[in-house]
């Protein structure tokens, strides 16, 4: 597919936004709220079970009108359609981008190169559900006849972050008789710790890798296989204790995993968009097939909203536009994501890959340099812990840090008044960030004059508030789909390809070159720069054989 990116900076829509920015940049949220009692109501949108209040942002309804005009001009509407209908919008890899097919209703027709992919998705989901039920019920036994008590997912990047995040997020829905662990790092400490204390006879490994060639994953899988065979005393044990999730059947077979125990996905699913594919097998074993299908329904509800809602009421589009507003006009470099749920501890790390691997690009679709700043640095930790660590900088630092606050009406567990306290902090933080505290207010509290500047809060720090009824499989699916589509929205306006990741290749190939140099006998000729050569020599000198 030929996509000619719109050079958005040169358009009248962008220029109008830039002129408007000059009138907004110094306006305080205090004044925006004081001037419009209906602001919060006007700036609240809903999608499925999610509510977004974006009123605590440095913008007006005119800003939103101009931002949506930019989105229209960028061709976003057509690109959404192109993605949903299987066009090869991943132009540098000539691939369709069809994660939306992973949660499409059975019977929907979505074709890649004329082939309807939905029956394939449904077939794999049925196979996963059958396997998950057998493991959960104890029908699937290990080599020595014991039932499976521990599942270890071996994968990295998109083959790890999604299921690991979702497993934690949905722990209250999990079968606690089965523990799930995740191994990703090539640092041997990871597989060491993940297997420590486990009984090989009761352990199932899921080797998850789209390509099945990723160095870290294959290295960890080999070590896991050695551990298992040593523990059970027979290579045939591998058949009952290893399954694979991959697009690469021949490599899976080469590793020694029975192809009947391979759960397939396809090249039109990007790694970071894949945890609702078979990559979520560990999650499905943990929570069971029905909750997994509820999660898919949540994804689907937001997909439908994204595809059909007008941009000014479109939750993922608005999140994308607001992020772009700070990124490209206010010069913000980062985006904080602050979930007020302990179970979402890994959500920011998951979003890091989703957003930064997608939109960390410096050339447009046609290969020319981008004219605008692209993807921000995404980071965060759950509230309230962050409040006692880095929120100081958010409140009084010199940087502008736009933040998404994510909270839930109902807790997973009723423990005293914890949830009200958690949510009191949640609401307090966005209020404090937006409105701050003036020097006059500080003085009125009788604070000594020399301390007044220190105790003043400038405010005007922007936040989005996202609320959901509770953290459930369904709302988790809705949240993830929201961020997936936010990333697409921004990528289209910046004119970049959000679906490739060539930037990870150079480091990988250099590591492959350096690995044998570290263990080679004698004095290998090193052809790197002087710093890298010296560091390798120092390491070699210290390295124990």
Q: Which residues bind ligand F6P (CB under 6 A)?
A: 156-159, 209-211, 214, 217, 271-272, 357, 501, 504
Residue 368's CB is within 10 A of a number of other CB atoms, namely: 11
Taking Cα atoms as reference points, which of 479, 459, 494, 495 lies closest to residue 47? 479
Contacts of 64 (CB under 8 A, 6+ apart): 43, 312, 318, 321
Residue with tokens 């302990």: 342
Active site residue 419: no
3-state secondary structure of 299: helix
Cβ–Cβ under 8 Å, residues 331 and 400: yes
Nearer CB in complex with ligand F6P: 217/490: 217
d(CA 513, CA 492): 36
d(CA 495, CA 9): 11
Q: Shortest approach of ligand F6P to residue 361 CB, angstroms?
A: 14
Q: Shortest approach of ligand F6P to residue 157 CB, angstroms?
A: 3
Q: What are phi and psi of 500, to 5 degrees?
A: -110, 180
Handedness of CA 501, 100, 3, 90 (dihedral sign): positive
Q: Shortest approach of ligand F6P to residue 212 CB, angstroms?
A: 7
Q: Shortest approach of ligand F6P to residue 276 CB, angstroms?
A: 14
Nearer CB in complex with ligand F6P: 56/210: 210
Cβ–Cβ under 8 Å, residues 264 and 278: yes
Q: Shortest approach of ligand F6P to residue 120 CB, angstroms?
A: 18
Nearer CB in complex with ligand F6P: 157/200: 157
d(CA 390, CA 453): 20
Residue 27 corresponds to which tokens in the numbers above?
A: 């306006």
Q: Shortest approach of ligand F6P to residue 501 CB, angstroms?
A: 5
Nearer CB in complex with ligand F6P: 210/474: 210
3-state secondary structure of 487: helix
Task: Please report how many Cα atoms fall inside a 13 Å half-sphere around the Cα of residue 133, on the Cβ side.
Answer: 9
Where do the H-state alpha helices sit in 340-435? 347-351, 358-359, 391-396, 418-435
Contacts of 442 (CB under 8 A, 6+ apart): 451, 452, 455, 456
Active site residue 41: no
Q: Shortest approach of ligand F6P to residue 398 CB, angstroms?
A: 34
Active site residue 418: no
Residues 388, 449, 505, 523: which is the catalytic one?
A: 388
Nearer CB in complex with ligand F6P: 13/216: 216
Residues 202, 357, 478, 484: which is the catalytic one?
A: 357
Nearer CB in complex with ligand F6P: 184/381: 184
Nearer CB in complex with ligand F6P: 90/214: 214
3-state secondary structure of 183: strand
Q: Shortest approach of ligand F6P to residue 352 CB, angstroms?
A: 12
Q: What's the DSSP call for residue 398?
A: S
Q: Shortest approach of ligand F6P to residue 280 CB, angstroms?
A: 13
Q: Is the peptide bond before 384 cis (omega within 30 degrees of 0)?
A: yes
CA angle 87, 93, 97 (to 5 degrees): 40
Q: What are phi and psi of 51, to 5 degrees?
A: -120, 130
Nearer CB in complex with ligand F6P: 99/272: 272
Residues 115, 236, 410, 508: which is the catalytic one?
A: 508
Residue nearest to ligand F6P (CB): 271
| Pairing assessment for the beta strands 115-116 and 150-154 based on DSSP bridges | unpaired
Maximal C-alpha separation, the chain: 78
Nearer CB in complex with ligand F6P: 174/217: 217
Residue 85's CB is within 10 A of a number of other CB atoms, namely: 15
Catalytic residues: 357, 388, 508
């Amino acid at each position: 597919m030929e996509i000619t990116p719109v050079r958005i900076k040169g358009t009248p829509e962008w220029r109008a936004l830039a002129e408007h920015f000059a009138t907004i940049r110094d306006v305080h949220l205090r004044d925006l709220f004081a001037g419009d009692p209906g602001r919060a109501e006007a700036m609240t949108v809903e999608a499925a079970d999610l509510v977004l209040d974006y009123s605590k942002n440095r913008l007006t309804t005119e800003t939103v009108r101009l931002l949506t005009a930019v989105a229209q001009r960028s061709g976003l509407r057509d690109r959404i359609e192109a993605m949903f209908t299987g066009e090869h919008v991943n132009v540098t890899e000539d691939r369709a981008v069809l994660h939306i097919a992973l949660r499409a209703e059975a019977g929907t027709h979505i074709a890649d190169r004329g082939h309807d992919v939905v029956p394939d998705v449904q077939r794999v989901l049925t196979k996963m559900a059958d396997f998950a039920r057998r493991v959960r019920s104890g029908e699937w036994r290990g080599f020595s006849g014991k039932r499976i008590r521990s599942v270890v997912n071996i994968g990295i990047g998109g083959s790890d972050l999604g299921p690991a995040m979702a497993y934690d997020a949905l722990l209250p829905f999990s079968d606690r008789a089965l523990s799930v662990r995740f191994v990703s790092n090539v640092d041997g400490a990871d597989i060491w710790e993940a297997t420590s204390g486990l009984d090989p006879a009761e352990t199932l490994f899921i080797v998850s890798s789209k390509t099945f060639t990723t160095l870290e994953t294959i290295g960890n899988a080999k070590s896991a296989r050695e551990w298992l065979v040593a523990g059970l005393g027979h290579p045939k044990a591998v058949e009952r204790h290893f399954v694979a999730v991959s697009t690469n059947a021949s490599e899976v077979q080469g590793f020694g995993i029975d192809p009947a125990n391979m759960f397939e996905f396809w090249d039109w699913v990007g790694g970071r968009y894949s945890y609702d594919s078979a990559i979520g097998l560990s999650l499905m074993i943990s929570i069971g097939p029905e909750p997994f299908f509820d999660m898919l329904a949540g994804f689907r509800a937001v997909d439908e909203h994204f595809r059909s809602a007008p941009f000014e009421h479109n939750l993922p589009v608005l999140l994308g536009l607001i992020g772009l507003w700070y990124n490209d006009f206010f010069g913000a470099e980062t985006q904080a994501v602050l979930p007020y749920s302990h179970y979402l501890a890994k959500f920011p790390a998951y979003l890091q890959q989703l957003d930064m691997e997608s939109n960390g690009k410096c050339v447009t679709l046609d290969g020319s340099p981008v004219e605008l700043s692209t993807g921000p640095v995404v980071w965060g930790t759950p509230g309230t812990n962050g409040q006692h660590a880095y929120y100081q900088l958010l409140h009084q630092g010199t940087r502008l840090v736009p933040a998404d606050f994510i909270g839930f009406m109902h807790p997973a567990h009723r423990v005293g008044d914890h949830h009200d306290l958690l949510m009191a902090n949640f609401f307090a933080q966005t209020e404090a960030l937006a409105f701050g505290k003036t020097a006059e207010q500080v003085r009125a509290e009788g604070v000594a004059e020399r301390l007044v500047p220190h105790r003043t809060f400038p405010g005007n720090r922007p936040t989005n508030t996202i609320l959901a009824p509770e953290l459930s499989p369904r709302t988790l699916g809705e949240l993830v789909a929201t961020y997936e589509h936010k990333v697409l929205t921004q990528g289209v306006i910046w004119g970049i390809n959000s679906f490739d990741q060539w930037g990870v290749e150079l480091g990988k190939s250099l590591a492959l070159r350096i690995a044998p140099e570290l263990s080679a006998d004698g004095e290998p000729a090193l052809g790197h720069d002087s710093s890298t050569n010296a560091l390798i020599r120092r390491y070699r000198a210290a390295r124990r054989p």
